[in-house]
Chains A and B, each alone.
Chain A
Amino acid sequence: MNLLRQHAEEQFAHELAELKRHDSGHLPPNWQLSPQSVVTYLMGGKLRNGFEVSSKYIGDRRLMEIAVATLTTDRALLLYGLPGTAKSWVSEHLAAAISGNSTLLIQGTAGTSEESIRYGWNYARLLAEGPSENALVATPMMKAMQTGKIARIEELTRIGSDVQDTLITILSEKTLPIPELNSEIQAVKGFNVIATANNRDKGVNELSGALKRRFNTVILPVPDSIAEEVAIVRQRVAGLASSLEIPAQAPALQEIQRIVRIFRELRNGVTEDGKTRLKTPSSTLSTAEAISVVNNGLALAAHFGDGKMNAHDLASGIIGAVIKDPVQDSVVWKEYLETVVKTRDDWKDIYRACREISR
């Protein structure tokens, strides 16, 4: 297979099949798996026959339970969180596990129009035959309603408010009126919507009150413990490095731990030992950014260094991730460098590397 990236339901097809075979729970209409099995698929675990399901989401099981429970009711699910907290990842896997199809996707942008949510027209046909069902262009939303599957909307808050509100009828009446044909499309059981939105973006379109209450919200947090976050970074870096074929040695665990620690300390505003409080920068410093800093460092080491990632390969990436606002953030970073990094004996290399660039 020469694809850069496979869909979740293809990549984990064997896991889904195995889960289905051993599923004894009650299936909601048109669901591929029972709610309990969906949670197992996301969190990982051992089936009764000893089959090991890998974990897709490393974090709080409670959150996944709320997400799945929501989708069994008639409310839609809104995954909310900082950039890089696995919102789209969770949404894709939820759709794959519940409907066996994660491709009914609408990408929200400032330019997303009503036609891309409801339906569009094939104008050639419209002119030739006049309005008819054949001249309709179905959107992923419309297909999901017709087949009773999960539709996904990415970055819901980037869509303009007027367009967002077209969702209200779909979510509350479960129907999509087509006034031009004097007909409608009514959703089949099993249909629901998963939307993702991020709460750090400036200039987002806040959801209207009416739309808000059609959604149950789950906030995906940044990882709880340093061990959890190191595990995530490690897993994803290994996966990406092999698929991008970067010819560098896998980074030492210690190097990853250091980056994750810097990110966590600045993000949480307190050192890991809990003794010193710190200022936090305006940047989000998500796990995803930690992953890209490591990847970046690996690429630097592979193509311009000796193939082994060192402090210098990482420094520019770290600083780029931390300092987003040139005035406030650089104060924060300088303070951190001088009061925390400098005092750690085995961090001398990273201190020097960062000092050189910060000047």
Chain B
Amino acid sequence: MPLHILGIRHHGVGSARYVAERIEALQPDLILVEGPPEMTEALQVIGHEALKPPVSVMLYNIDNPQQAVFYPFATFSPEWVAALYANKNRIPLRAIDLPVAISFQQALAENDTTLSAPVRDPLDYLAEVDGFASGSALWDHYFENHFQIHTSAEHFEAVMLTMKTLRQAAIPSLLEEENTLREAYMRECIRKAQNELYQNIVIVCGAWHAPALVQVDTTAKADAKLLKTLPKTKIKPLATWIAWTAQRLALQSGYGAGISSPGWYAHRWKYPQDTAMLWLTQVAGLFRSKQADISTAHVIEAYRLACTLASLRNRPQPTLNELNEAVISVMCMGDAVLFQLVEQALIIGNKLGKVPEDIPKVPLQEDFEKKIKSLRLSLTANAKQYDLDLRQENDLKRSVFLHRLAMLSVTWGRTVENRNKGTFKESWVLEWSPAMILELIDKAYYGNTVQIAAQQVILQQLQAEQKLGNITSLLSRVIPAELFECIEALLLAIQNLASVSADVVDLMAAYPTLVQVSRYGNVRKTDLSMMQKIADGLFTRISIGLGNACYGLDEANSEQMFRHIVAVNEAVRLNQQEEAQTLWLNTLQQLLARTGIHPLILGCTSRLLFDAQIWTTSEAEQHFAYALSPANPPSDVAAWIEGFLKGSGAILIYDDTLWNLLYAWVASLSEQHFTELLPILRRTFSQFEYAQRKQIGEKARKGLVAISASTLGASPDIDEPRAEMILPILEQLMAV
């Protein structure tokens, strides 16, 4: 009963080619592949028209869907090739690795995943002797890159011999202990197949295991003893297919070996002849489609350089390394930025897999349905309004759930304005449409529960985000969805962006939100001190950069800056840190001393400083007189007044000095100037409340006010005992 063991590297193009050729030659009656037996059934789907790689088998624990492993396949995966042959020729196909249920059980048992000391790839030892940079470079050179130098039978014999030699030298592999058990189990499966009287068995497995599977007859007893030590488990894993992406092929899961260049592998699989030349033509085509001038001569030169480099490094043909270096040097003028295009579009590629519709439900969907049941929500096409009271546990859970769904772009619920303005009330309208479940299935690879998937979505959005303001708004969305794990990442991103952002306006937009969240946010599980620290960092940067940022702004931008300054000022006051307040007031004072700053901002700054009461009366008067002096162009003065008075005009009523200055200034205007400035002044004054406007008007009728010493400060004729009588009521009103 011949056993044909084909040692491969997962996702190895050369391996896949040899496997295809060898199986065709052997015409086996049973094919066994490495992989947990739970996925045997799923493997039968390979060959189905609607299953288009890259796809992945997902094995997950029904009771705990977060526990999942993935076995991704591409067209050039040897296992895929073997399965394709088996299904097409109606030969039985089985997966023979340790059941995944056992590893789930083990993972539960030994909660702490202490990593043992890193072990070298056994091939590294050979590489060292043979002058290769790494074991995988050596494998590539001998077993992957130069297809057709040997016959497939010779190839697998060589693989077997290499691995046998390494194993005989007692070189430990990466997962020594686990491997002993796995190989015992594989042998057990092979014996079982032999007992079923299969005559011609092909086994496709990782090269390292190949020598261990040769001796199946003599090891039966020892294996049985070993396998008895395996834990018993009641876990029932389910297997399903999910769509995969080229980028995710690079991820390490299930079949350990992630690959860094799936696009290049696919290219090699598709074009066994003239691989390098065709690759360079594709690269040139890509550049041309992006309007870069790449001629045929460029392709020729790049090919020549790649070949010369390969011969300098003693390689018969250029590999991806040589091709990349040649492309950078010849086509990109050495510019790695341009080359990123090749990296993304060709080397990795943006291929997206497809999965037939009739496959079993994905866990995310199941989690969704379970949550709906437990939260007592129903899927109806009729809009229904829910008024949630966030103080109630179930309502709070519902709100959190709906917020998370919104992040997954499932637009089932939308918030509506609640008439009752309390912060603990939230109103949602729920309206279901069947298409929404597709939205959910599309997100299946983000995670197996709504919570985890939502988290992943946020993290992904975060990666692409460059604007600080947008990240803070993400932060404010994450908090009602209680995705606390994201908060840390968001905060880190804010910190990173803040330190490189040259855009002070962006910083100023983010700072107040951050202060608000750190003060009032219902952030329970986050380190508040971290948030405070980041806010402080932002603030330091704002203080350093504010002066330059205000320089030379036009009116529209000044208006925007005005609002930001007021908002930051408010936030600084909220923050109640003495050091920050002093720094802020200093910054504002420095701002006043600079030139080239729009009078609107100067006016606003003066007002903030005036309100902070850090000027003495005479200093304040000096500032006003300076700003309102006739030497300044009237339009500047008007802008200054607008900035100074924006929001409240009460100051004009009680400060006579300022009143007189303003009055005199208005009187000094020529008629033409006055007509010009009227709209600005009108705009300023029209924002005051009616009563204030009336008082100002009455005051204006009286003209200049004679200044007595008593106008500012306490009136001498105040009745102190009587004044004190209202203090208790005031205290009660202000709740101090």
Which positions in A face B, CB cutoff 8 Å? 35-36, 39, 62, 65-66, 68-70, 72-73, 75, 78, 80, 209, 212-213, 216-219, 269, 276-280, 327, 331, 334-335, 338-339
Contacts and interface: CB of A to CB of B under 8 A. Distances in A.
A269 B496 CA distance: 10
A73 B325 contact: no
18 contacts: A62-B321, A65-B313, A66-B305, A66-B309, A69-B308, A75-B301, A80-B334, A209-B293, A212-B333, A216-B301, A216-B330, A218-B329, A219-B336, A277-B500, A278-B499, A280-B500, A338-B540, A339-B499
A277 B499 contact: yes
Given A331-B544, A331-B548, A80 B499 contact: no
B17 to A, nearest CB: 29
Contact of A70 (B295, B329, B500): B329
A219 B336 CA distance: 9
B356 interface: no
B321 to A, nearest CB: 8
What are the 8 tightest A-B residue pairs by CB atom distance, in nearest-first order? A217-B334, A219-B334, A277-B499, A277-B496, A69-B308, A216-B329, A217-B333, A69-B309
Nearest to B302: A216
Contact of B298 (A70, A213, A334, A339): A213
Interface in B529-556: 537, 540-541, 544-545, 548
Given A279-B499, A279-B500, A339-B537, A217 B329 contact: yes
B718 interface: no
Given A73-B304, A278-B499, A331 B545 contact: yes
A339 B540 contact: yes
B305 A70 contact: yes
Contact of B305 (A39, A73, A212, A278): A73
A298 B332 CA distance: 42
A66 to B, nearest CB: 5
B504 to A, nearest CB: 10
B714 interface: no
Contacts of B496: 276-277
A80 B333 contact: yes
Interface in B315-360: 321, 325-326, 328-330, 332-336
Contacts of B330: 75, 213, 216-217
A65 B301 contact: no
B713 to A, nearest CB: 39
A40 to B, nearest CB: 12
A213 B297 contact: yes
Contacts of A212: 333
A82 to B, nearest CB: 12
Nearest to B493: A277
Contacts of A277: 495-497, 499-500
A62 B333 contact: no
B303 to A, nearest CB: 11
Interface string B272-305: 0000000000000000000001010110010011
A71 to B, nearest CB: 10
A75 B305 contact: yes
Contacts, number: 85
Contacts of B495: 276-277
B257 interface: no
B312 A213 contact: no
Given A209-B293, A219-B334, A219-B336, A73 B499 contact: no
A80 B301 CA distance: 19
Contacts of B313: 65
Among B328, B333, B540, max chain A CB count under 10 A is at B333
B308 A73 contact: yes
B502 interface: yes
A132 B305 CA distance: 40
Nearest to B504: A331
Contacts of A69: 305, 308-309, 312
Given A68-B312, A216-B330, A276-B495, 13 more contacts: A62-B325, A66-B305, A66-B325, A70-B329, A73-B305, A212-B333, A213-B297, A213-B298, A217-B333, A280-B500, A334-B544, A339-B499, A339-B540
A35 B548 contact: no
Among B308, B326, B500, max chain A CB count under 10 A is at B308
Contact of A279 (B301, B326, B333, B502): B502
B97 to A, nearest CB: 38
Interface string B486-500: 000000000111011
A330 to B, nearest CB: 10
A35 B499 contact: no
B499 A213 contact: no
B510 to A, nearest CB: 15
A39 B500 CA distance: 39
A69 B334 CA distance: 15
A216 to B, nearest CB: 4
Nearest to B301: A75
Contacts of A331: 544-545, 548
Nearest to A26: B311
Contact of A335 (B321, B328, B541): B541
Contacts of B336: 219
Nearest to A65: B312
A276 B499 CA distance: 8
Contacts of B325: 62, 66
Contacts of A80: 333-334
Contact of A65 (B309, B497, B499, B548): B309
A213 B302 CA distance: 11
B492 to A, nearest CB: 9
Interface in B238-280: none
B305 A216 contact: yes
Contacts of A65: 309, 312-313
A182 to B, nearest CB: 30
A243 B313 CA distance: 38
B329 A66 contact: yes
Contacts of B321: 62
A219 B335 contact: yes
A212 B333 CA distance: 8
A162 B563 CA distance: 54
A277 B501 CA distance: 10
Contacts of B497: 277
A268 to B, nearest CB: 11
A72 B333 contact: no
